[in-house]
Amino acid sequence: MHELSVTQSILDIVLQHAKDRKVQQVNLVIGQFSSIVDDSVQFYWDIIAKDTLAAEAQLHFKRIPGEMTCNSCGHVFHPGSETFLCPSCESSAVRVSGGREFQVDSIDVE
Amino acid sequence: MCDGHNHSHPTHTHTTTRVPVAEQILSANDRIAQRNHSLLHQKHVYGINIMASPGAGKTSVLLKTLEALKGRLKIGVIEGDPAGSIDTDRAIAAGMPAVQVNTGGECHLDAVMMEDALSQLPLDDLDLVVVENVGNLICPANFRLGTHLNLVIASIPEGDDKPYKYPGMYMGMQALIINKIDLLPYVPFDMEYFQQGVEVLNPGITTFPLSCQTGEGLDAWTDWLVEQAHAEIIPE
Ligand SMILES: [Zn+2]
């Protein structure tokens, strides 16, 4: 599990931006191609954020689905887990056009 | 969602303010990775990070590769601990400086561990640093180390659907080895389907089908690696 180090990084970023204010919510944007497990991030958060101003912060995950664009016909689609073929023209000439996000978008502070 | 509006409670009023952050979660790691990369560059050392799922034959590929590079490049080895494969003793016995990194139960190496390991290697005397990452396909993908090359080793028995199941890993590499091609006649593996997935995630990726068993394809891989390393380490 790499969620512990990911959670530590999130906490570092959050505390740096909170500037001594109490953090109520952390808004994360995670693309489908960046794999983390929500529940285990929240689990680690409850442990490592204890005794900080972010101890009670709720983690909010905004999930961005993986997106591909067909180079042949321009169709934009969400790929399945078994094929990346364009569902419109069945071309394999497609490229990843979304879903790489992995960032702390904003925080809500008191 | 409370975007800067007031909640009135019987006893007090508090305001919630939304502070924009827009920072990459692993930006701290990436900054140190960048520092590692600069150090390698400055010392004219080529760095390669080898990732694979357990059973892909990472150890065999590594041993064959080190053997083939003997006399051509001066090599140092960094070993991710829970990988449990070529022990550092073996590398040292073969005359290579080697550092074992204890990941403390973590599933991947990160840039800080890499920085620490690099400081223990005689970089002035090396041409190539080979990092053997911890064996799995999910975790190491997110953590840049600062190497020039991220190499993924896939293998025929693992199945042809790996790129579709682990797109993150297949997007983060610069070269791919398909190991155990000697098993192709015995295992259902649709090479075209596999490579189609890879190509979508990583257009134009350099791929080396090979077999450590028969030796087929090994020269193509090791010659290419030496060429890459030379291009990077020869001072201008
Ligand atoms: Zn199409």
B50-80 tens-digit pLDDT: 988 888 988 889 989 999 998 999 999 998 8
Q: Do A5 and B110 make contact, defined as CB atoms within 8 angstroms?
A: yes
Which residues are registered as beta bridge partners of A27? A60, A106
Which residues touch A108 (CB under 8 Å, ≥6 apart)?
A23, A24, A25, A26, A27, B2, B16, B17, B18, B19
Over chain B (236 residues), what is each successive 10-residue block's mean pLDDT?
48 80 92 96 96 87 92 92 62 81 73 93 96 72 87 94 89 93 96 95 95 97 96 77
Which residues touch A90 (CB under 8 Å, ≥6 apart)?
none
Say what the pLDDT of residue A2 is. 67
pTM of the model: 0.88
pLDDT band of A40, cuts 50, 70, 90: confident
B177 Cα–ligand 1 center, Å: 29
Q: What is the ipTM of this complex?
A: 0.88
Section A15-26 average pLDDT: 95
A80 Cα–ligand 1 center, Å: 15
User: Do residues B16 and B2 lie in contact, with contact meaning Cβ atoms separated by under 8 Å?
Assistant: yes
Neighbours of B203 (CB within 10 A): 11
8-state DSSP, A57: P
Q: Look-up: residue for tokens 């689905």?
A: A65
Burial class (CB in 10 A: 0-12, 13-18, 19+), B190: exposed
Tally C-beta pairs within 8 A across A and B: 108
Nearest CB to B16; choose among A17, A24, A68: A24
Nearest CB to B164; choose among A21, A82, A96: A82
- Going by C-alpha positions, the residue among A84, A97, A33, A71 that lies closest to residue B194 is A84
Name the residue type at position B3: D
Chain B residue with CA closest to A18: the answer is B19
By the CB < 8 Å criterion, does B122 face chain A? no
